[in-house]
């Protein structure tokens, strides 16, 4: 509703990034860098022992066959869980070895950052497993009512969204690295450069 004598507000307001008012920006909390210890990935991705595959009963009636199919389905889920744990341990350890030493030198990770680094590695491992299973099973699977989208596509999408958040938090992309101040406050001491 227009009020006489007043200018109408624009429908779209522009939000500016940066420090347009040139107010002093408060520096965040500084924590001393520390050496992060790699977790025991077997606690995050436990070893699952898979029993032998159930044997089909001979001369079974329909009810016994249904029970056998349920046992086989449970066995297959346990087998996939075991494979997932094995692959997860390898992928998470590989990602930790690849990223954490760089982050310690680049961003000065502290002991309080360990859980974020662990979560990042778990996210990468789970996403790799989802992508592997999608390659094996296909994007379309058979559901109760016919062909449908593989549920792993939804899970992979959720892990990918979480991975983007970790990439921003840890400075693992070119734009995110520009927002992170190196430990030491940017002194002119080039002798300690990571790339020397």
Asked if 96 contacts 149 with a C-beta cutoff of 8 angstroms, the reply is: no
C-alpha closest to that of 116 among 76, 168, 160, 70: 168
Q: Could you tell me the two tokens for 158? A: 């959720």
Asked if 163 contacts 127 with a C-beta cutoff of 8 angstroms, the reply is: yes
Whole-number Å distance between alpha carbons of 165 and 163: 5
pLDDT of residue 17: 57
Whole-number Å distance between alpha carbons of 7 and 52: 78
pLDDT of residue 29: 58
Would you write out the chain's pLDDT as a tens digit for each of its 196 residues? Answer: 566 667 666 555 555 555 666 666 556 656 666 788 899 999 999 998 998 998 888 887 888 888 989 999 999 999 999 999 999 999 999 999 999 998 888 777 888 889 999 999 999 999 999 999 999 999 998 888 889 999 999 999 999 999 999 998 888 888 777 776 666 655 555 555 555 5
Domain-wise residue ranges, the chain: 61-172
Please tell me the pTM assigned to this model: 0.71
* CA–CA–CA angle 54, 57, 60 (5° rounding): 145
C-alpha closest to that of 92 among 36, 35, 157, 42: 42
C-alpha closest to that of 105 among 26, 165, 188, 177: 177
């Amino acid at each position: 509703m227009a009020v006489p004598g007043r200018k109408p507000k624009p429908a779209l307001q522009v939000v500016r990034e940066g420090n347009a008012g040139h107010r002093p920006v408060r520096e965040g909390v500084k924590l001393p860098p520390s050496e992060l210890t790699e977790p025991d990935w077997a606690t995050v991705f436990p070893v699952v022992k898979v029993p032998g595959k159930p044997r089909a009963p001979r001369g079974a009636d329909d009810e016994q066959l249904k029970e056998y199919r349920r046992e086989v389905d449970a066995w297959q889920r346990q087998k996939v869980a075991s494979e997932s744990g094995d692959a997860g341990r390898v992928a998470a350890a590989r990602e930790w070895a690849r990223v954490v030493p760089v982050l310690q030198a680049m961003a000065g990770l502290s002991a309080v950052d360990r859980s974020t680094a662990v979560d990042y590695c778990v996210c990468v491992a789970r996403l790799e497993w989802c992508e592997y299973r999608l390659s094996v099973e296909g994007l379309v699977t058979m559901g109760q009512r016919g062909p449908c989208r593989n549920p792993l596509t939804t899970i992979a999408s959720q892990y990918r969204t979480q991975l983007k958040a970790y990439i921003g938090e840890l400075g693992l992309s070119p734009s995110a690295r520009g927002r992170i101040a190196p430990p030491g406050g940017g002194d002119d001491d080039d002798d300690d450069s990571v790339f020397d």
